[in-house]
Structure 1
């Protein structure tokens, strides 16, 4: 996969898949896209015809056509459909590199180990991925090639450093799209995203539902309601797949949030609720005003699994990869 211009197949052309497709085309890669929905394929074909000639993509009528000459296949379908796509890639004998953009990594890792094989032998190399970018809108019409500019994009890496060469190549591709690559194991990713993405979706849905029985509250809703419930506008089936697919980690994170909220609830029943709530609110206030982390020192690090995983664990990221793929330009938070 170590070439400047890649042949890439994107399977699934929703918001994230469509944005990946468009971003790759803008950056000069040869891209084929496929979506199971004929209407989505038609929309993507029309958009391709209207795109600048040097940033067009090709939409195929099957997964087989999309991956025929692909060095890399990017699976951008909801979690319940991932296994079916992996089965088809295996039946086609696809032996390139496969990555995904699913918001849960452990279950996808396990599906890849089970499905991307034939006759007991592994076929494609799988590297789990998750761009931390999105909107409450969905579908190809919402796709934006600039969606990943500056975003954190997790690429999963095992402690054993398996497939490190392909991992570094994929990191070079992703940073070339303007994203920051964050190395992490699948389990580390799932624990972190349960806290900062999946549980917030559940909390937002619960708060948003309050206005359904209170028209006055709906009329009075302003900034705090809008900002706190934005992700509740996401399609319920997508949020359910995301949270349900990461159920153990989401359960632990949700238990922690519920315990904190129970403490706030108890404070309201005390003799001095204002005085009791102030220290309860302070840790969250401090964390939020110091987010996002400011970039600190940067350094060239060797492209070794242990070094890369340590970088991710301290909240660092990769902003570029050297041409010889032996080092990465890494940034630690200030």
Structure 2
């Protein structure tokens, strides 16, 4: 795993008195929810996007006329359902639930030029990367490590991604090509940091650090449901993810079930061991757990400050 820096080759430059066109001049977002619109707004306001005069268009099948007007005020240059327009972009970012994103790849293969770069913001990567390889698409999986339990474009904000990591999954060297390099530069210009890993490693990591915490929060809330009127702010902090909607998590669990189940099994072993330590008053071992957790928490805070 490595950090990707925005290379100078991704920037616009002047040659013989003429300005070289950036490799990405228009971006289509398909799905305009919390992450899609937050990413759009962050990139739109970035210095590189303004310098490059990037055009942003998008579509969401659930939108009303009022929704369209609102997202245009938030930064979308054009809302369109015309496939000839949507799929002709230099970069297409799929921002729907992951199973819908996977299904859309067939349509992109049919309508988009071969030069189009395709990406997505799904929380799992192995299945969509495999489908993109089968269709021989120029594909970079993208996962902004940001979010909140509320969903929808009305909850979006450009600051949601500021300072956050964006994991990029590339199995074909697309990140080293002009559009891939320019995408890195755009994300960095928007205030994100980028990490690279393959799709399988990504799904293993997020099963532990994202999907497991979500399910533990859900389980905790259900377990304590008869006592929540007596809880304090500490419980609310730990249970925050229990507010996440099932319609988002259904696809995540369906496309990463083996990894998630394995992490639940491992955590169950740890939970059993912890129960035995508490029952036997093994205070020395419990102190060791607290000390290690405190140390790791300080590391986490420092990482989020940098």
Indicate the SS of the match to 1:178.
Answer: coil
Contact 1:9 1:74 in 2 (8 A): yes
Query: Closer, same or farther in 2 for the Cα pair 1:113/1:5, shift >3 Å?
Result: closer
CA contact (8 A) 1:8 1:74 kept: yes
The corresponding residue for 2:29 is 10
Misfit runs of 4+, over 6 Å: none
Question: Deviation at 1:128?
Answer: 0.7
Does 2:81 align with 1:57? no
SS in 1 for 2:296: helix
**Greater mean deviation of Cα atoms: 87-96 or 97-106:** 87-96
Find out whether 1:252 has 2:265 as its counterpart.
no
Question: In the alignment, which residue of structure 2 is the partner of 1:154?
Answer: 167
User: Equivalents in 1 of 2:69, 2:299: separation in Å?
Assistant: 43
Match of 1:242 among 249, 252, 256: 252
Cα RMSD between the aligned structures?
Answer: 2.4
Name the CA distance, whole Å, in 1 between partners of 2:79 and 2:216: 38
Instruction: Tell me: CA distance 1:226–1:64, structure 2 relative to 1, closer, same or farther (3 Å).
Output: farther
Paired position in structure 2 for 1:327: none
Tell me, in whole angstroms, the C-alpha distance in 2 between the residues paired with 1:47 and 1:244. Answer: 30
2:236 matched to which residue of 1? 226
Give the alignment partner of residue 90 of structure 1, picking from 109, 127, 133.
109
Cross-structure match for 1:79? 98
Q: Which of 1 and 2 has higher RCO (CA within 8 Å, sep 6+)? A: 2
Q: Deviations over 1:293-317 (max 9, x none)?
A: 4499xxxxxxxxxxxxxxxxxxxxx
> Is contact 1:21–1:57 with CA below 8 Å preserved after alignment?
no
Query: Which residue of structure 1 aligns with residue 15 of structure 2?
Result: none
Gaps of 5+ in 1: 297-332
CA distance in 1, matches of 2:302, 2:94: 30
Q: Secondary structure at the match of 1:133?
A: coil
TM-score (normalizing by structure 1): 0.76
* Structure having the larger proportion of residues in helix: 2
Structure 1 residue 273: Cα displacement: 4.8
Q: Residue 63 of structure 2 is aligned with which of 38, 59, 68?
A: 38
Q: Please tell me whether the aligned partners of residues 140 and 169 of structure 2 are also in contact (alpha carbons under 8 angstroms).
A: yes
8 Å Cα contact 2:166-2:195 kept in structure 1: yes
